[in-house]
């Protein structure tokens, strides 16, 4: 007796070796039927004796290839047909290509073995790949994912490659980027004018230049990197100068796990993460006295390490015997990374000495991802290559929505059914190149995900590029979403929870519903709405965006707020070193409320403390003062914390910073060291937030608490606060799949928009505030 079943499988099941896997599963059991790619995933018909068919059905999801991500399986009975063997049928192209595209995958062990096997026909071939590894997202032009719709379409396969591609038993069956020396992409080594230096072996030439300390622009998977030898301080310094990147840390690619262990403290979890197929940059505590040049990450506790992830990286390390290479984004400070060869020569020529390029086009730019582990879970800092476009699964189905994110660390988000697709890291939308990238990402992702949004969600800030873009879109419903509400909604969404929560939303900058700059917010929120239950007391931001680049201005602002103008008489080093003229100018600005908007920012509070205790007066990259303050606090075991007052004002709670600054000044007078003061500041902040949460729980009877916003990239605050809240019996929800910072904002915007009333179209009024475009 025979049965026949149809099995529809949805998810990431194309381009990941799923069909050959099913073919083997069927033929090993002598079952008949067929499999084909469908717009939604794959469709399987399977026929044979009932017990063997049952076995097939139950094993199908269990033993699926590592890269497959199954979201739905639907099984139904069919009448039997006469077929005896199992076939792979050609792809359908349908009206709705909802099959998911896989993220790019690091080169697999099998391919690596072949890469270094002198007998293999792909020996040392820099573009070796198979169904288990290689580029995906970055080479897609359209869906369904098939070679003619990728940037491999210009490389007709040779007979040998085609035979592999067509053989269901082969590891390269339907591996779309399949290629070899004979038929595939090739490397070239170019001089600074972009002239190919054909007489040279590209790898050998690149290695020689790196060894002599020169700067290379290397075309990778999702864009160009600048590469220099990480143990050569002069080379690193030259890269800093030319890139005009003063202190922001560089990521370091290390030869292997063992080498990584020499530079940083690495446990089993960190090893697993470094070695994962996503190959993210992992932030790890550095060990003392390593060979890595100090200028790679000045004043940093952590180093960002990653392992080679393309065959080309492995070839460079093998040929050059490097221990570590700085591999940093191939861009000018805040612009997007270069992806095109000629564009790279034009834009990166002032920085790189030579170019290592290839002729496989990168269609979608995708930066390296940055992650770390804390409080036992993975934390995304920058979710990009390796993770995108895998969806975040939601607790319920949403309409098709486009959320355009914020201004800094921008990502966009598209929703379809119960899936949310966050884009790769787009970056800071403050120059025309980034804005182009943003527009491009919207078009491209909508196309390959086949999503036509009915609703567009945007930030309330009227001057954000993303808001302005949204407001020009016709024929869709627009929903403005408050920044800190979006943070909390993002945290709820990835934890798949519903209902009301207490939301701790702490960051640098977000436009408030009162037109002020919010940033230290405690909300009672659900997806549809929020109430501002508490916030940090407002302080002036003297000079607007300048105050963000110059933390000493915030210290003046808080001192003046606490002590009045008398603070100029305080006998503490900060005041003694202060230039009178500058200080008085700022005091006048604040008194006359000229270019001094009010802010409840938590980020600015960290800035003020860092400046006041002499850690940092001016910053060269975002959050630098807060990062250095945290590092300082870590070298102290102090358990005391400074007082912050919680008081009732205008029907909500406010956190009053005057007692804090009073206590810090007292400690400075007593010459208490910076480490102790920073630790007391951290401890006091955590204690205050915990007390506030308890107060709000009493008032609202809500025990669920969501923690979100860029401030929680500070692990000293994050880990201690979560521990304390849990010890008080709170149910605490944190970010793991998407960043706590503004990279996760678009997810929250989408959820809020989905829950807004259908006739509600919010268009923000332009308020009289200055543009505040740094976080
Ligand atoms: Zn492979
Ligand atoms: Zn070939
Ligand atoms: Zn934010």
423 CA distance to ligand 3 middle (Å): 17
Nearest ligand for residue 183 CA: 2
Nearest ligand for residue 107 CA: 1
200 CA distance to ligand 1 middle (Å): 28
User: Strand 3-12 to strand 41-48: parallel, antiparallel, or no bridges (unpaired)?
Assistant: antiparallel
Question: 334, 340 in Cβ contact below 8 A?
Answer: no
151 CA distance to ligand 1 middle (Å): 19
Mean pLDDT over all residues of the chain?
93
By residue count, the chain amounts to: 775
pLDDT in tens, 288-331: 877 898 899 998 889 999 999 999 999 999 999 999 999 999 99
Nearest ligand for residue 481 CA: 3
- Taking residues 159-167, what's their average pLDDT? 96
Residues whose beta carbons lie less than 5 angstroms from ion ligand 1: 108, 111, 130, 132-133
pTM: 0.93
- Taking residues 717-744, what's their average pLDDT? 98
pLDDT in tens, 397-406: 999 999 999 9
548 CA distance to ligand 3 middle (Å): 14
17 CA distance to ligand 1 middle (Å): 11
61 CA distance to ligand 3 middle (Å): 39
529 CA distance to ligand 3 middle (Å): 17
447 CA distance to ligand 3 middle (Å): 28
231 CA distance to ligand 3 middle (Å): 36
Q: Which residues pair with 365 in a beta bridge?
A: none
Say which residues have a Cβ less than 8 Å from residue 320's Cβ, sequence separation at least 6.
Answer: 206, 207, 210, 211
639 CA distance to ligand 3 middle (Å): 29
CA angle 752/757/709 to nearest 5° reads: 15
688 CA distance to ligand 3 middle (Å): 21
Q: 604 pLDDT exceeds 90? A: yes
Extended strands (E) in 526-658: 530-536, 539-540, 598-599, 645-649, 652-656
Q: In what order do the strands lie in the sheet with 32-38?
A: 69-78, 3-12, 41-48, 32-38, 86-88
- Taking residues 508-532, what's their average pLDDT? 97
273 CA distance to ligand 3 middle (Å): 26
**The CA-based dihedral angle spanning residues 300, 303, 304, 310, taken in that order and rounded to the nearest 10 degrees:** 150
Which structure tokens are listed for 59? 């094993």
389 cis-preceded (ω within 30 degrees of 0): yes
User: Looking at per-residue confidence, does 541 or 761 come out higher?
Assistant: 541
Q: How far apart are CA 72 and CA 11, in angstroms?
A: 7
List, as own/partner pairs, every contact residues 22-30 make where C-beta atoms lie below 8 angstroms and the sequence separation is at least 24, other chains included: 22/60, 23/86, 23/88, 23/168, 23/169, 24/168, 24/169, 25/56, 25/59, 25/60, 25/63, 26/56, 26/86, 27/85, 27/86, 29/55, 29/56
DSSP conformation letters of 122-181: TTT-TT--BTTBB--GGGB-SSS--GGGBTTTTSPPPHHHHHHHH-TTSTTTT-TT---T
Give how far Cα 345 sits from Cα of 236, 368, 383, Å: 21, 21, 27
184 CA distance to ligand 2 middle (Å): 6
Nearest ligand for residue 165 CA: 2
603 CA distance to ligand 3 middle (Å): 10
Nearest ligand for residue 128 CA: 1
Residue 413 has a pLDDT of 98
pLDDT band of residue 17 (cuts 50, 70, 90) is confident
- Taking residues 653-668, what's their average pLDDT? 98
Angle between helix 624-634 and 674-700 (nearest 10): 100
H-run or E-run covering 258: helix 257-263
Nearest ligand for residue 178 CA: 2
Q: How far apart are the first and last CA of the chain?
A: 68
Q: How far apart are CA 518 and CA 538, in angstroms?
A: 9
Which residue intervals of 288-388 are DSSP H helices?
Answer: 311-320, 341-348
106 CA distance to ligand 1 middle (Å): 8
166 CA distance to ligand 2 middle (Å): 13
Scanning the structure block, which residue is given the tokens 């003392």?
A: 288
Q: 771 pLDDT exceeds 70? A: no
734 CA distance to ligand 3 middle (Å): 15
749 CA distance to ligand 2 middle (Å): 46
Nearest ligand for residue 485 CA: 3
């Amino acid at each position: 007796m025979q049965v026949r079943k149809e099995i529809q499988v949805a998810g990431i099941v194309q381009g990941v070796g799923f069909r050959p896997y099913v073919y083997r599963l069927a033929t090993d059991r002598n079952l008949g039927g067929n499999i084909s790619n469908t717009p939604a995933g794959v469709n399987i018909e399977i026929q044979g004796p009932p017990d063997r068919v049952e076995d097939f059905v139950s094993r199908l999801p269990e033993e699926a290839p590592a890269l497959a991500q199954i979201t739905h399986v639907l099984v139904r009975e069919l009448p039997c047909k006469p077929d005896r063997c199992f076939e792979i049928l050609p792809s359908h192209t349908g009206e709705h290509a909802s099959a998911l595209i896989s993220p790019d995958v690091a080169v697999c062990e099998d391919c690596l073995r072949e890469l270094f096997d002198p007998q293999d026909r792909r020996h040392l071939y820099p573009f070796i790949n198979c169904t288990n590894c290689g580029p995906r997202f970055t080479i897609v032009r359209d869906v369904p994912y098939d070679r003619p719709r990728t940037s491999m379409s210009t490389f007709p396969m040779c007979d040998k490659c085609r035979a592999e591609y067509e053989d269901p038993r082969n590891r390269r069956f339907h591996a779309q980027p399949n290629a070899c020396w004979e038929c595939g992409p090739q490397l070239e080594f170019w001089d600074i004018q972009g002239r190919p230096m054909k007489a040279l072996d590209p790898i050998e030439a690149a290695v020689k230049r790196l060894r002599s300390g020169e700067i290379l622009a290397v075309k990778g998977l999702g864009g160009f990197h600048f590469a220099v030898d990480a143990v050569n301080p002069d080379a690193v310094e030259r890269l800093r100068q030319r890139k005009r990147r003063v202190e922001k840390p560089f990521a370091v690619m290390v030869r292997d796990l063992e080498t990584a262990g020499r530079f940083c403290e690495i446990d089993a979890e960190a090893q697993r993460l470094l070695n994962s197929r996503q190959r993210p940059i992992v932030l790890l505590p550095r060990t003392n006295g390593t060979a890595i040049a100090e200028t790679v990450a000045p004043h940093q506790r952590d180093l960002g390490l990653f392992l080679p992830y393309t065959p080309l990286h492995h070839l460079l390390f093998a040929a050059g015997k490097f221990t570590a290479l700085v591999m940093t984004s191939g861009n000018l400070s805040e612009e997007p990374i270069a992806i095109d060869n000629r564009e790279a020569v034009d834009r990166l020529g002032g920085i790189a000495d030579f170019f290592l390029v290839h002729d496989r086009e990168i269609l979608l730019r995708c930066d390296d991802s940055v992650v770390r582990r804390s409080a036992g879970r993975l934390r995304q800092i920058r979710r990009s290559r390796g993770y995108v476009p895998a969806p975040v699964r939601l607790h319920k189905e949403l309409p098709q929505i486009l959320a355009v994110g914020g201004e800094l660390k921008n990502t966009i988000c598209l929703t379809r059914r119960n899936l949310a697709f966050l884009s790769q890291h787009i970056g800071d939308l403050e120059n025309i190149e980034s804005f182009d990238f943003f527009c491009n990402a919207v078009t491209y992702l909508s196309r390959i995900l086949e999503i036509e949004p009915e609703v567009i969600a945007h930030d309330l800030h009227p001057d954000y590029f993303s808001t302005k873009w949204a407001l020009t879109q016709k024929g869709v419903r627009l929903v403005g979403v408050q920044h800190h509400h979006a943070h909390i909604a993002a945290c709820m969404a990835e934890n798949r929870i519903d209902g009301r929560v207490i939301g701790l939303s702490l960051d640098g900058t977000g436009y408030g519903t009162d037109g002020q700059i919010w940033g230290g917010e405690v909300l009672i929120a659900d997806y549809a709405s929020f109430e501002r239950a508490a916030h940090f007391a407002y302080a002036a931001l003297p000079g607007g965006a300048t105050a963000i680049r110059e933390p000493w201005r915030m210290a003046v602002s808080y001192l003046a707020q606490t002590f009045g103008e008398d603070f100029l008489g305080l006998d503490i080093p900060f005041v003694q070193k202060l230039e009178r003229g500058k200080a008085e100018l700022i005091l006048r600005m604040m008194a006359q409320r000229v270019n001094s908007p009010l802010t409840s920012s938590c980020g600015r509070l960290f800035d003020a403390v860092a400046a006041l205790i002499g850690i940092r007066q001016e910053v060269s990259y975002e959050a630098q003062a807060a990062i250095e303050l945290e590092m300082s606090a870590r070298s102290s075991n102090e358990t005391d914390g400074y007082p912050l007052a919680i008081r009732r004002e205008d029907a909500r709670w406010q956190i009053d910073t005057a007692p804090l600054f009073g206590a810090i000044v007292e400690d400075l007078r007593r010459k208490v060291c910076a480490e102790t003061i920073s630790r007391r500041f951290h401890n006091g902040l955590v204690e205050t937030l915990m007390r506030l949460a308890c107060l709000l729980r009493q008032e609202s009877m809500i025990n669920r608490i969501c923690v979100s916003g860029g401030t929680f990239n500070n692990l000293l605050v994050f880990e201690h606060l979560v521990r304390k809240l849990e010890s008080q019996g709170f149910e605490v929800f944190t970010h793991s799949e998407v960043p706590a910072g503004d990279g996760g904002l678009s997810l929250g915007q989408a959820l809020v928009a989905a829950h807004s009333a259908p006739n509600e179209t919010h268009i923000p009024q332009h308020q009289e505030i200055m543009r505040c475009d740094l976080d």
